[in-house]
Structure 1
């Protein structure tokens, strides 16, 4: 049975997000809201969940979870859209947080919502005041696919309008829900936690450095000197993603701080993830609740909402959600990192019982409109209005079967052969069939490309298995750089002796490309730091380079680096200098029948228009972007067979101005460069024809070529070394394998 709110009956709701027993605040929020909406709708089980999984196999969910999505599997999102279209709930409610969805800045969720034929409402748990270009694009596109947005802070309403250009008519404020607490004396619950007779301060939540718990600990000596009964409980486990990436370093630093200050009798770490009932008991046992967060830009805090609803005496730093909830005397503020102010406020609340109780009462009364029952009612009322609007103006279909077919056809990246080619030094250059050939040793070019593969794979799938590979390839680049010449060496023998003092300009540019990708996608700050150092040390020689391919490879690396360090003036100058130099070379060398910057087309050709495209996009240079598109279109035309498949320029003669083109040997490097360039053309224009071109280039690896023979080996994960007049070159070397993987990962990243 549904419920009438206004005119329209809401019968069923599908919620997309994390769900218990996954340990995160979003999962707890989802469970509470689901249960509250079920109660409002009546008869139970009117709300079901599509749950996001961040571990293999998912979690032992309640039957309310009807579908699971592996966060990094794009096909799962599309299958979920099909599932929901069949189930036909009245409303799909998306719980949005960038980090729970796969793809860059959580872009995979867009493929789900745009393929739905159902009305979508999205709750935004984070609204960034300074989003990256990708974060802004994801949120604005998600807003376009959503009928309505919900935020839990009035500031969020203004930010969505001012920063993201979303009309206010499409945004609603609904507060974070809370249990229906009783207003009780904290002493009633203290014996359950062995803190009878103590003045209990509580902070809780998943632990990470942004929580700022050290501010309270540092203030305690001054408090304990006056009030020796004070006792600070820090409740919560370390955030799973923090634990995965940096371990428990933050918690250990807090333990050391407690010991150094001699506070062992005043601080306790309850390192556990508690259920709702136990959490409520902790809150009710507390005299003072503190959220000492270190950044102002937190728009939602479930922990603060709970404490306010329980009528706690609250001290907080002035982050956005706190400023709103604790306004009008419902709490006390201390400046960020102000130890003295924290100590004074704690002492004041302990010593002024009447004033403290009055503040508690104001908080409790304000919280009555935030109970889950009230919040669920607000959501259902909104859903009713959305459905009424939908009847008057049906939602257009954004998705299409072609997108689903495209993703389904893309193989899952297989890194087995990449790992087989890699030893303790780096990736070996060549193979005898599938067996690494040590006679030819290593080269910088292949290790730079392998570094790109490992970083891209990590960025897409957050696989910690990539970290050892990233370290190996990055170590090779570090060793390849010669600080005396400021140049990279390229070739190394198997016994680890460099075979040259200076590598080619092209290999230097390729190293900078690999380092730029590493800076953008590094799995840790330490890896980003060393990649940034090598990158910057390699910049000083770029002005003197004369190879257009070296310019182009470096430009791609420079622009990728700028995605992280956009304010680096020297990198911006070099990007402008090299891209203008490359653009000028094209302008000076072209004719009506030969729009190329050289008199011959050789290897890695598409990297040149790729550089013009990315530099034009990053610098807002429309003329440069147009030149890149024109050159790339011409390059594709020269390498398209009458039947429509890709027919690459071979390296047995290349192609010159007279139009003579070598048909063999065709190299995987060329197909990869074309795929990369086409995807960048899509990024710069938004025109989906470039995705179709990119698919055609990738399909060259899969047998859509002059010989109708696949080069990609599904068994090994390797790629054969090229097409020859006699057939496929069966050796699966490093350049071929990493070219296939870069092309595949590039396309997976955009679709």
Structure 2
């Protein structure tokens, strides 16, 4: 089997690029040949390379993160009278691309203007975008989501049969188990790209509320991850300086530790040096006008791999992902609920231990070699049906 992969790949700074790189390696380890189409100077896949597409059995794309490139090329391939089967993993269901994938000259200019003009333009063109998403979805041989919640919502919104949308969990590497950190101090970790919209401000305010109620509380927080992600709508200003100023103003600067631009080789050690990962994500009102974003998180998959429970908000599909005794969800933007959850973890260390055990069990089930096997089975089925 020879598969062409349409996706961002490292060193692109995004969670989807990290996923695609790990997915490609796992598929290769299963004996599946995964090739990347030739690109032009702008990083696009020119349609002129007809010979390339005739040499592959199937084209698989990673859709999400606000990127339009993969979506547009699937449209081009779908328009051909003959060609390879097309499939895609949808990282941000219940939509495929979420905004106009090929804006006009005016739309491209608006995209570079200050907030909220790009988001308002996306709202204005949303109905046309949704029609294109549904047309593409109908022409794909299979769609994949990382959660059952995402699969249900995607099938409903794209108006395709639920049987064509497959749930294959986010893979994770196999990691040697390490016991929880010793000592009485609860070590919390935010891990992931650090940029506006991740709810980090809410987490800082919740920690400040815990400390205000219990000045002697044994709790610390580490903020770790990349600081230069590839973003669809980047925020202005020095966000790290804003977070540092907020922490200082809340009186918790001495409770924080920073691990910025964490090297890949240090991810496991960093996560396992903590008791619980905290993902305080929030979904903006502008996104909610377009649909319900119900994907999962690469950071969450790392927590499973490292055997660490997760405290998250009820955004995305976190309620499903943390329903097996491996963590807890609280309402997004609810500082009081987050503070109460942190306080309970301080008071009940056995709760932390139970979460860790369940997370490790999930991590074993979701090793990349297992996930690659599910994908290989799906692709074989698609090709067999086609034959």
Q: TM-score scaled by structure 1?
A: 0.43
Residue 110 of structure 1: CA displacement? Answer: 1.2
Structure 2 residue aligned with 1:283: 271
1:235 matches 2:231: no
Q: In the superposition, relative to structure 1, how do residues 244 and 154 fare at CA in structure 2: closer, same or farther (>3 Å)?
A: closer
Structure 1 residue aligned with 2:360: 364
Q: How does 1:104-503 map to 2 (within 5 A)?
A: 106-115=71-80, 117-128=83-94, 132-187=126-181, 198-224=185-211, 225-242=214-231, 245-275=234-264, 277-295=265-283, 297-391=293-387
Residue 244 of structure 1: CA displacement? Answer: 8.2
Q: Give the match's secondary structure for 2:361.
A: helix
Out of 197-206 and 23-32, give the one that drifted further.
197-206
C-alpha distance in structure 2 between counterparts of 1:227 and 1:238, whole Å: 31
Q: How does 1:626-641 map to 2 (within 5 A)?
A: none
C-alpha distance in structure 2 between counterparts of 1:120 and 1:129, whole Å: 17
Q: In the superposition, relative to structure 1, how do residues 347 and 374 fare at CA in structure 2: closer, same or farther (>3 Å)?
A: same
C-alpha distance in structure 2 between counterparts of 1:121 and 1:243, whole Å: 23
Structure 2 residue aligned with 1:742: none
Q: Is 2:180–2:273's contact at 8 Å kept on the other side of the alignment?
A: yes
Deviations 1:282-334 (A, max 9, x none): 11112110010112734221111221332212111012321111014321122
C-alpha distance in structure 2 between counterparts of 1:217 and 1:146, whole Å: 43
Q: In the superposition, relative to structure 1, how do residues 146 and 344 fare at CA in structure 2: closer, same or farther (>3 Å)?
A: same
Of 79, 89, 92, the residue aligned with 2:59 is 92
Q: Is 1:23–1:273's contact at 8 Å kept on the other side of the alignment?
A: no
Q: Give the match's secondary structure for 1:357.
A: helix
C-alpha distance in structure 2 between counterparts of 1:244 and 1:302, whole Å: 20
Q: In the superposition, relative to structure 1, how do residues 69 and 213 fare at CA in structure 2: closer, same or farther (>3 Å)?
A: farther
Q: Give the match's secondary structure for 1:289.
A: strand
Structure 1 residue aligned with 2:39: 68
Of 30, 34, 37, the residue aligned with 1:40 is 30
C-alpha distance in structure 2 between counterparts of 1:260 and 1:254, whole Å: 10
Q: Is 1:72–1:102's contact at 8 Å kept on the other side of the alignment?
A: no
Q: In the superposition, relative to structure 1, how do residues 27 and 229 fare at CA in structure 2: closer, same or farther (>3 Å)?
A: same
Q: Report the structure, 1 or 2, having the larger helix content.
A: 1
Q: Is 1:18–1:100's contact at 8 Å kept on the other side of the alignment?
A: no
Q: Is 1:77–1:109's contact at 8 Å kept on the other side of the alignment?
A: no
Residue 363 of structure 1: CA displacement? Answer: 2.2
Residue 270 of structure 1: CA displacement? Answer: 2.4
Q: Give the match's secondary structure for 2:56.
A: coil
C-alpha distance in structure 2 between counterparts of 1:234 and 1:357, whole Å: 22
Residue 113 of structure 1: CA displacement? Answer: 4.3
Residue 214 of structure 1: CA displacement? Answer: 1.0
Q: How many residues align?
A: 348
Q: Give the match's secondary structure for 1:203.
A: strand
C-alpha distance in structure 2 between counterparts of 1:285 and 1:247, whole Å: 32
Residue 68 of structure 1: CA displacement? Answer: 2.4
Q: Is 2:312–2:329's contact at 8 Å kept on the other side of the alignment?
A: yes
Structure 1 residue aligned with 2:116: none
Q: In the superposition, relative to structure 1, how do residues 311 and 91 fare at CA in structure 2: closer, same or farther (>3 Å)?
A: same
Deviations 1:574-594 (A, max 9, x none): xxxxxxxxxxxxxxxxxxxxx
Q: Give the match's secondary structure for 1:187.
A: coil
Larger RCO of the pair (alpha carbons < 8 Å, separation 6+): 2
Residue 12 of structure 1: CA displacement? Answer: 2.2
Q: Give the match's secondary structure for 2:39.
A: strand
Residue 173 of structure 1: CA displacement? Answer: 0.7
Residue 357 of structure 1: CA displacement? Answer: 0.9
C-alpha distance in structure 1 between counterparts of 2:344 and 2:36, whole Å: 46
Q: Is 1:93–1:122's contact at 8 Å kept on the other side of the alignment?
A: yes
Q: In the superposition, relative to structure 1, how do residues 16 and 102 fare at CA in structure 2: closer, same or farther (>3 Å)?
A: closer
C-alpha distance in structure 2 between counterparts of 1:314 and 1:146, whole Å: 34
C-alpha distance in structure 2 between counterparts of 1:332 and 1:98, whole Å: 25
Q: How does 1:581-730 map to 2 (within 5 A)?
A: none
Q: Which runs of 5+ in 1 are unaligned?
A: 1-10, 51-66, 189-195, 392-751
C-alpha distance in structure 2 between counterparts of 1:83 and 1:213, whole Å: 48
Residue 229 of structure 1: CA displacement? Answer: 4.0
Residue 264 of structure 1: CA displacement? Answer: 1.9
Deviations 1:134-180 (A, max 9, x none): 33233223223321111111122212222221112211110111111
Q: Is 2:149–2:294's contact at 8 Å kept on the other side of the alignment?
A: no
RMSD (Å) for aligned C-alpha atoms? 2.7
Structure 1 residue aligned with 2:287: none
C-alpha distance in structure 1 between counterparts of 2:298 and 2:76, whole Å: 29
Q: Is 1:152–1:299's contact at 8 Å kept on the other side of the alignment?
A: yes
Q: Give the match's secondary structure for 1:379.
A: helix
C-alpha distance in structure 1 between counterparts of 2:208 and 2:195, whole Å: 23
C-alpha distance in structure 1 between counterparts of 2:320 and 2:217, whole Å: 33
Q: In the superposition, relative to structure 1, how do residues 107 and 337 fare at CA in structure 2: closer, same or farther (>3 Å)?
A: same
Q: Is 1:208–1:242's contact at 8 Å kept on the other side of the alignment?
A: no
Residue 14 of structure 1: CA displacement? Answer: 1.7
Structure 1 residue aligned with 2:109: none
Residue 213 of structure 1: CA displacement? Answer: 0.7
> Larger Rg: 1 or 2?
1
Q: In the superposition, relative to structure 1, how do residues 202 and 92 fare at CA in structure 2: closer, same or farther (>3 Å)?
A: same
Out of 210-219 and 134-143, give the one that drifted further.
134-143
